[in-house]
């Protein structure tokens, strides 16, 4: 089944303890992105990647890192989590090339709910 898989789905951690949220897609999509969803703020883009080894900042990149060593994986790294990073995180992927109606549609993971105490 074509999908975007995030792990873990739920995570409770403490301030300063490094963590990684994994994201994997099996659709051979070039583009991958991370968002955070907060009440009243909608989804805000953290980082995105147009292809392997190509990443760029979104609107709220502070406190996050990403890497894109393989096309299918796009992990989100919080080196030193803080309480203001408590949020619901979504990974998404899309095709950048191909028929107009097939590309640029973002497919989302199920979300990771993170609590930083």
Partner 1 sequence: AQRVTQPEKLLSVFKGAPVELKCNYSYSGSPELFWYVQYSRQRLQLLLRHISRESIKGFTADLNKGETSFHLKKPFAQEEDSAMYYCALSPTGTASKLTFGTGTRLQVTL
Contacting residues toward partner 1, per CB under 8 A:
31, 33, 35, 40-45, 48, 50, 56, 58-59, 90, 92, 94, 96, 100-101, 103-111
Contacts of 67 (CB under 8 A, 6+ apart): 55, 74, 75, 77
Cβ proximity to partner 1, 69 vs 101, nearer residue: 101
3-state SS track over 11-68: EEECCCCCEEEEEEECCCCCEEEEEEEECCCEEEEEEEEEECCEEEECCCCCCCEECC
110: number of Cβ within 10 Å = 12
Cβ proximity to partner 1, 4 vs 78, nearer residue: 4
Minimum CB separation from partner 1 for residue 98, in Å?
A: 12
Cβ proximity to partner 1, 56 vs 70, nearer residue: 56
Minimum CB separation from partner 1 for residue 48, in Å?
A: 6
Minimum CB separation from partner 1 for residue 66, in Å?
A: 14
Phi, psi of 85 (to 5 degrees): -100, 5
Cβ proximity to partner 1, 14 vs 96, nearer residue: 96
């Amino acid at each position: 089944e074509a999908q975007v898989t995030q792990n873990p789905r739920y995570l409770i951690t403490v301030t300063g303890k490094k963590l990684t949220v994994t994201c994997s897609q099996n659709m051979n999509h070039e583009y991958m992105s991370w968002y955070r969803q907060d009440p009243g703020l909608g989804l805000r883009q953290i980082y995105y990647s147009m292809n392997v080894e190509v990443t760029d900042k979104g609107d709220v990149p502070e406190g996050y890192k990403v890497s894109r060593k393989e096309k299918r994986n796009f992990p989100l790294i919080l080196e030193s989590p803080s309480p203001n990073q408590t949020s619901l995180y979504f990974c998404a992927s899309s095709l950048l090339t191909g028929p107009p109606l097939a590309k640029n549609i973002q497919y989302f993971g199920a979300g990771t709910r993170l609590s930083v105490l």
